Structures are given as structure tokens and as C-alpha cells.
Structure 1
Amino acid sequence: MDLTLWILTVGWIFVLLWVPFIIYTNRKTHPKALFVLFFAEMWERFSYYGMRALLVLYMTKVLFIDMAQSAAEVKSYAIYGSYTAMVYLFPVLGGMVADKYLGFRKTIIWGGFLMVLGHFALGFQAFGDLEGNMPMFFGALGLIIVGNGFFKPNVSSFLGEFYETDDPRKDGAFSIFYMGVNIGSFLAILTCGYVGQNINWHYGFGLAGIGMLIGLLVFWAFAKGFGEKGLEPQEVKDGSVKIFGTKPAVSVIVLSLLAIPICALMLNLNEVMSTLLLVISVFIVGYIIYHALKSDDKVEGQRLLVVVVLFFFHAVFWALFEQAGGSLTIFIEKNVDRSFLGTVLPSSIFQSFNPLFIILLAPLFSFMWLRLNKAKKEPSTPMKFVLGLGLLAFGFAIIVLGAKYFPNNEGLISVVFIALMYLFHTMGELSLSPVGLSMVTKLSPNKIVGFVMGAWFLSISIGNKMAGWIGSLTASESVAEGAHPTETLSVYADTYLTWGVFVVAGATLILLLLVPTLRKWMHGIH
């Protein structure tokens, strides 16, 4: 058995023991719905991260193999940025559909179904003469983008329905839920990464689809246990609401199918996608600001403004954090010593550090927030964001330190630097991301919580698009084809120093100065 397969086997055994332990120890603290949604989201993330682990590598090594290396990397980063941006852009519409028309349950099921089709379409390219079929490749990504838009925001929003607005268990619940996200990610990176890089790229993509199908079936099987929660609005049940003169469900299906080829086309139109994302972002953020300023309830309006301010810092965080699926994967491929015990580990497997650390640390963070809350010392949400950004910058500082001062004669750095970077990035993520999801459900008016949650994912969309652009800065044309790793190392170090350390540290300082104002605007919601 090679080392990679041994790591994969141990990873699965660990998760099979860890998940029952977490459910058992938290069964009396949280409602059963948390664990159903935890499990469904775990498998949905298995599908997403399984494909994400392979996407840039597949494009650079297979899809654009005829292009020069730097050109292939730039094009791959652009497509990766557009893909992940749209993955987090469509939740704005998915949240609105759930709020106004279908309810959480039906919206989640429809989104999951489209994602299953998308992943299987990628998997089927392993057969016949479909390898490298561009229309099928981009069409499959279009299915996943649209499906994710319906699934992703509504699972998170639905979880908030099972807790009161300022329930002290809420941040802990979202930390546990977030651990489910990362268990799926951990298993996917190990499993799909191994199968994709060692057996067949498309078998790896197909495994991601099987994971999505399991998540969909789990949610569907347990949905009846949610009672009246998550059903469509009463006016939709009564038949008084129509879209284009038809039932909302029919219109949503038709419009979804029309959106798929449009998304596929936009993936290959980088500049158009960037402009469109900017216009949509300005419109949606502007609408939330307008709603906040025009609200008859001043408290409600100021709480929404907190979401808007943190929206921008959230985008900065993800612009650098998401280098993990792009430039950092290629950096590990080129400039990290991956040999261990006679085996050269595949570069995709190193992405598993992040979800592994989350699995181990999420219960600790959940416990820590509850204990600090009881002691009346828990940091406010804006202060947790400051902590998250600071830890992100520190993680990049470790990589820059390793690249500038500790490379070996071949221009490779130790995997220890990668592990430490992921440790600090993970602690930053736990301080910011699940807390942000919880915050949206606390600060948003009930009638638009799905829409605001979708807008919150829009900040991740902007961050992902920025991530693609930042990643392209590491694909320097000044570095010759097949250059020695010492040459590429300096390009990565300079890029990460500028953007990962200096820019993020600057954003951290600005947010720290805004914390007192934001706490005041939250009006007692911690």
C-alpha cells in the first residue's frame, strides 16, 4: 500500500469514529435538525471540494496542455475565479427563491439534483471520445453553479430556523455545522484527489457526484421530521402567487435550465464576468443599504448596515484564503518537497490540512465561545472578524518566511511551512466564517433572511473572483517555461507578501478601528 492510500484509509477511519462522537456529545444541547443538515451539507461539500481539488490541476495538465505553461495557468486561474465566483453569486437568487416561492426544503432538493447532474457529466467524460470536450466541461460546471445557488445559502438559513434570534447556542451550532462542511471537504480532497491524480481525473469528478447524491437523499429522507419548517409561503400554497402566469416551481425550473448555458458561456469570458459581477454586487449591496436606511425600525436598519460593512472584509478574507484551490496548489506542485517515506504525495492532498484542522478545532471553538459567553468575555462578531483576518495574514507570513529564508538547494520548502500556514488560516476561518453565517441569521429581518444570506455569499463570490486575479500574478511570463524552482519561488513569495501579508494586515487594522461603531449598531445582538 502506498503512503497516499494509507493516508486516505486512516482519514476515512478517523471520520467514521469522529462524527458519531460529535453527534453523541452534542445530542442534548442541540436539536436533531442540526445533525440532519450537518450530514446533508457534509456530502454536498464532498462533491464541491472533490471537484475543486482537481479543477486547476486538470485544466493546466489536460484541458490546456497545448498552451505554454504560464498561459495555461493564467487561463485556468481566470476560469477557476469565474467558476467559484458564480458558485457564490447564484445563492443571492437561490435565497430569494426560497424566501418568496419554494421554501427552504424544495429549493435545497432542486439545487442538489442539478449538482448531481453536473458532477456526473464531468465523470462521464472518462468514456468514449469525451475527454477534453469543452462544451460538456463548461456545461457541467454550469449545472453545478446553478444547483449550488439553490442549495448552499438555504441549508445555512434553514439551520437558523431552529434557534431563537440571540440563542447563545447559535454560534456553537454553526461551528458544528461548519465542521460537517469540512468533514466532507477532508474526505473529498483525500478521496477524489487520490483517484483523480493517480487513476483517472474523471473518476475523481464522478466520485464527487456520488457524494452529492448521498447528501440529497439524506436531506429528502429526513425532511418530514422538520414539521412545518422550511415549507413554501402560505400565499404560494394558496395558488395566489404566479411567475409569468404559471406556478412558481415550474418557472423556477425553466429559468434554471436557461441559466445553465449562460453560466457555461460566462466561464470563458473573464472580463465580461468581472464587469457583470461588479454591477450585480453594486446593485445588491445598494439595495440592502437602501432597505436599511429606509427602514421604519432604526435598530433593524443599523443591524443590516453591520452586515454590509463586514461584507467587504469578508470578501478580502476569501480573496486570499481561496488561493488554496488555485495558486497555492500549483505552488505546492512546484516549490514544496512532497517526498515522504519513498512516496511523492500528490499536490491536491495538501488541501486536506484545512478541513482536518477544522474537524479537530471546530468543537474547541464551539466550546470556547460558549464558555466565554457565560463569563461575559466573548468577543463581538466584528472583533472575531479582526481575529480571523489577523490569523490569515500570519499564515501567509509563514509561507513568505519559508520561501525567502529556508528553501533547499532545489528551491523547495518543507511541508512544515504549508502545515503551519493551514493551521493559522484554519483558526482564522473558524473565527470568521461560521460566525458570519450565524451573524446573518441574527441581524437580518425574518422576511429577507434568505436574500441577505445569499448576499453574504456574494461577498465570497467577489473574493473568489479576486482570488483568480491574485493567483494569475504568480504565473509570471518573465519566468521561462520549465524554469528552476528557485525562480518561481521568488514570484510566489513576493505575491503572497504583498497581498497575503500587507493588504490583509491593513484591512485588519481598519476593521479594528471600526469595531466600536459596529458593536453599537448591533444593538445588543452579540
Structure 2
Amino acid sequence: MASIEKEAITETVPQRGFFGHPRGLFTLFFTEFWERFSYYGMRAILLYYLYTEVAHGGLGFDKSTAVAIMSIYGSLVYMSSVIGGWLADRVFGTANTVFYGGILIMFGHIALAFPGSTAAFFLSMALIIIGTGLLKPNVSSVVGDLYTKEDERRDSGFSIFYMGINLGGLVAPLIVGTLGQKYNYHLGFGCAAAGMFLGLIVFALTRKKYLGKAGSNVPNPISKSSVIGTGIGVVIAAAVIFVLIQTGWLTIQRVIDVVSVLGIVIPVIYFIVMFTSKKATRTEKSRLAAYIPLFIAAAMFWAIQEQGATILALYADQRTRLSFAGMHLESSWFQSLNPLFIVIFAPVFAWFWMKLGKRQPSTPIKFAIGIILAGLSFLVMVLPVMGGSGELVSPLWLVLSFLLVVLGELCLSPVGLSVTTKLAPAAFSAQTMSMWFLTNACGQALNAKVVGLFDKISEAAYFGSIGLISIILGIILVLLSPVIKRAMKGVQ
């Protein structure tokens, strides 16, 4: 999309009305609130549903397989953002793609709400994976359309949007987790489906009035020959997957291996395609080069942060004393810690970046701070196991770990969303946002292999080694920051 077109789109959006930000931020804030409610609510109980015995309402997987499934599921959710970005750039535009994605997510949660076989579970996962891939990168792209690139409210707006995401994530484990663990897993999944339905209603009722033309443009329309080629490719891929399942070749372990490889290969291919495209200018390619170390740093961050829903969730259920101040705790409630701290501190960070204005740290430095704090969040988990007694540990250790990683997240994630919209080549705007979500896919794809080490080595070695690697990577990023800033060609 040319810059003049972006300015014309911004002019159609009411620029005041939601905490000093464009009114369309209200629509996107609450759409994402309910989408995240459904996603995080379902995820808060999914691991426990996977390894709970069939007689007690679960699927009966062993714990190591359940943790690996969670990682590949999380990776595929973000990997599918490539599909969502492509469809938005080439076919539907970002706003329509958001709506279609929400519909698929809702049906995926409805499928989980009914007791079924393992095959039914994987079908529901497929719907949620594809739906989230359509919705998640594109709703953030629409947020970017609300502002000009020079608007100093931009980072603050993304921080407010990010708070909406985490408000949904905060209440979901408390409601869905309690329903799932105390009463019935499928009742919890049904509650998640209702949340996505509410998000679709908010979007449909306020879109026309508040968003204007934001998200309506299709910057790189697909040709008829590409439509035919894409359709043939999808049919062939589906047929191959079907045959592999029927022959028994496509086992869970092979899926883990394939996803782990794809988590690295797909981003590499995407960078190559954009670097070699004639539709990207020399300046845009320089900005893409600056994006590579940020991408690597973000992947390392998410590899740690996303283990909050796998390794730390397992730790909460198996190694943590589930009582505090005379109150019984559900292990799923710990999934509310991350969004709780974001809700508390996101306004502080939003205010702080606006207060500093042009004096705020550069994007590479913010990223470095983020992954160093993530590393520290794992290092603190070494302390409660140093005694080696094997007793249940205080829940406060998990609280501290989640707090540190959240502080890092607020330095990196909303800033990453913002800088991605600014560094994106015009012809690949939504697809570059998909690249941002591939940082998460890459981190979780690596996790699918890494988490298997948790029960093979000591907890101190596991948490300590991953934490140190993250801190070292953060220091390297600080040293490279002057080079990265020059390559960004004026983008702050």
C-alpha cells in the first residue's frame, strides 16, 4: 500500500474517542479481548485435559506427550498466521480476514465443548489453529492502519491494545479454568466458545462506524492463475496428509519433528522471498535486514514465555503447593498471572514511553531488556530446587517468575508489533505482521523438542541453562544495536 493510500485510510478513522486514541481502537480492543478470553481460557485447561485419565474426563496422554502437543499446537497457531497474512494481502483485506478467523475459532471451541474421540480433538485444534492464524496477525495490522507512521501515539496505542488482549487472558483462566477443573472440561471449553461469539458481535456492530476504511485495502491482489495454483496446492497437501494419516506414518512424534523444522524453515523462506521481490525497495530491504536480529531475539523470548503454559503449568500442577493464605488454588489459575501483571503494568509502560517521547530507548535496546528479563525469570526457578529435597515449593516462586517475564514482555511485545508495522515493505504489509507471529511459532517449535528435556535433566540445569542463553543473547543485541538502528533507515 503506498503511503498516500495509508494517509487516506487514516483520514476515514475518527481520531479521538478512546483514551485520546482513534475510536477504532475500541473495536479492536474488545474484539481481541474476547478472542483472547476464548484462547487463553481453553489453553488454561488444555494441558490437564490431555493428560487426565479418560475415566476422569480427559484424553489420557502421558505427560511428556501432552506437553509436546501443547508446544506444537502453540507453534502451529502462530505459524498459520502466514496463511492469514497472505489471504489479507492478496484476497480479503485485514478486516474481513479477522472476521472469518473469528468464526472458525468459535466453531473449534464448540467442537471441544462436546465429548469426543482423539480424532475430534485434533479436528477442533485444526479449526482453532487456522482461525487464529487468520485473526491474530490481521487485527494488529488494522491497529497499525489507525495511525500514521509519524504519530507518536502509535507505541502507546499498541500498549493499550495489548492490555485489552491481556484483560481477556486475565479473567479466562479464573472462569474457564475453574469450570474445567472443578466441574467438567467440556463446560470450560463451551464457555470459551461463548467468548469468541461475543467478540464477533462487537466487531460486526462497531466496525463500519469506528474503523472507517482501516483494514479494507488489498495491497497485492491475487491473479486468476495464482488462485488456480493455490487451490491445486491445497488439494494436493490435504490429500498427502490424509494418506499419511491413513497409513499410520504421521505419528505424533513425526508431527513434532516436522513442526520443529518448519518453525525455522518458514521464516527463512519468507525473508528470502521478500528480499528477492522486485516489489520491495532498497530502503525496505535494509529495514528487513534490521528486522532479522529482532526476529531471533523475539523467538528466544517466546521460547521462554510460552513455557508458562507448558513447563510452568506442569510445575504448578505437580511441584507447587496449591494453597496460600488458607485458600485452595487451582493449578490453572497461575495462567492468569501473566495477563494480570500486564494489565497492571501496561498503562505504566504506555505512559512511560509517551513521557520519554524521543528520549526513549531504541527498539533494539527494548528487545535486549526484554530477553534479559526473560532469562532472569528462568534463573529464579533454579533457587527453589537447589536444596534438592523434592518437596512442594511455594507458589510465590511462580509468581516471581511470571512477573519478570511480563516486565520483559512489555519491553518487547507491543514494541515488536509497532516496529513490524513500520518496517514492513508496502507490498507485504500483512505478511510482515505474520512474520512477527512467526517469532512465536519459531520459539514454540523449538520448545516442542526442548521441553522433552525437563524430565531427563535436573530442574536446576533446565531452567539455568535456558535462562543463561537468553541473557547472553540480550547482551549481544545491545552490542549490535547501533548497526541495527542504522539499517532501520530512520524508523525509531
Q: TM-score range by the shorter chain?
A: 0.7 to 0.9
1:328 to 303, 308, 312: 312
1:395 aligned residue: 377
1:260, distance to aligned residue in structure 2 (A) = 13
Residue aligned with 1:524, SS: coil
1:47 aligned residue: 38
Change in Cα spacing, 1:87 to 1:63, as seen in structure 2 (3 Å) is: farther
Query: How big is each residue's C-alpha offset from its partner over 1:488-522, in whole Å with a ceiling of 9 and x where there is no partner?
Result: xx8222200111x2111111111111111011111
Query: How big is each residue's C-alpha offset from its partner over 1:272-318, in whole Å with a ceiling of 9 and x where there is no partner?
Result: 33234333233123223434xx6774322211112222111111111
Q: Identify unmatched segments of 5+ residues in structure 1.
A: 1-24, 477-489
1:440 aligned residue: 420
1:30 aligned residue: 21
1:227 to 196, 208, 212: 212
Change in Cα spacing, 1:442 to 1:372, as seen in structure 2 (3 Å) is: same
2:10 aligned residue: none
2:449 to 447, 469, 473: 469
CA distance in 1, matches of 2:204, 2:235: 23
1:244, distance to aligned residue in structure 2 (A) = 3.9
CA distance in 2, matches of 1:221, 1:211: 16
2:71 to 68, 72, 81: 81
Question: Is the 8 Å Cα contact of residues 166 and 442 (structure 1) preserved in structure 2?
Answer: no
2:288 aligned residue: 304
CA distance in 2, matches of 1:342, 1:259: 56
Quick check: 1:497 aligned with 2:464? yes
1:453 aligned residue: 433
1:412, distance to aligned residue in structure 2 (A) = 2.0
Query: How big is each residue's C-alpha offset from its partner over 1:26-71, in whole Å with a ceiling of 9 and x where there is no partner?
Result: 835200111110100011011111111111111111369999x9x8
Change in Cα spacing, 1:284 to 1:233, as seen in structure 2 (3 Å) is: closer
Change in Cα spacing, 1:26 to 1:233, as seen in structure 2 (3 Å) is: closer
Change in Cα spacing, 1:525 to 1:277, as seen in structure 2 (3 Å) is: closer
Question: Is the 8 Å Cα contact of residues 146 and 256 (structure 1) preserved in structure 2?
Answer: no
1:472, distance to aligned residue in structure 2 (A) = 1.7
CA distance in 2, matches of 1:423, 1:190: 18
1:284 to 270, 278, 284: 270
- Structure 2 letter corresponding to 1:502: L
Query: How big is each residue's C-alpha offset from its partner over 1:152-171, in whole Å with a ceiling of 9 and x where there is no partner?
Result: 10000011001011321111
Question: Is the 8 Å Cα contact of residues 256 and 449 (structure 2) preserved in structure 1?
Answer: no
Query: How big is each residue's C-alpha offset from its partner over 1:449-483, in whole Å with a ceiling of 9 and x where there is no partner?
Result: 1011111211110111222322221123xxxxxxx
Quick check: 1:507 aligned with 2:473? yes
Question: Is the 8 Å Cα contact of residues 335 and 413 (structure 1) preserved in structure 2?
Answer: yes
CA distance in 2, matches of 1:158, 1:232: 10
Question: Aligned pair count?
Answer: 467
2:84 to 91, 94, 102: 94
2:108 to 118, 130, 139: 118
1:524 aligned residue: 490
Change in Cα spacing, 1:295 to 1:159, as seen in structure 2 (3 Å) is: same
Question: Is the 8 Å Cα contact of residues 75 and 259 (structure 2) preserved in structure 1?
Answer: no
2:157 aligned residue: 173
Change in Cα spacing, 1:394 to 1:260, as seen in structure 2 (3 Å) is: farther
1:345 to 304, 329, 336: 329
1:224, distance to aligned residue in structure 2 (A) = 1.1
- Structure 2 letter corresponding to 1:415: P
CA distance in 1, matches of 2:406, 2:280: 40
Question: Is the 8 Å Cα contact of residues 289 and 308 (structure 1) preserved in structure 2?
Answer: no
Query: How big is each residue's C-alpha offset from its partner over 1:387-408, in whole Å with a ceiling of 9 and x where there is no partner?
Result: 1011111222222123225x8x
2:301 aligned residue: 317
1:357 to 318, 341, 347: 341
Residue aligned with 1:124, SS: coil
1:434, distance to aligned residue in structure 2 (A) = 0.7
Change in Cα spacing, 1:107 to 1:193, as seen in structure 2 (3 Å) is: same
1:271 aligned residue: 257
Q: Identify unmatched segments of 5+ residues in structure 2.
A: 1-15
Question: Is the 8 Å Cα contact of residues 172 and 370 (structure 1) preserved in structure 2?
Answer: yes
User: Which moved further from structure 2: 133-142 or 72-81?
Assistant: 72-81
Question: Is the 8 Å Cα contact of residues 387 and 428 (structure 1) preserved in structure 2?
Answer: yes
1:267, distance to aligned residue in structure 2 (A) = 8.4
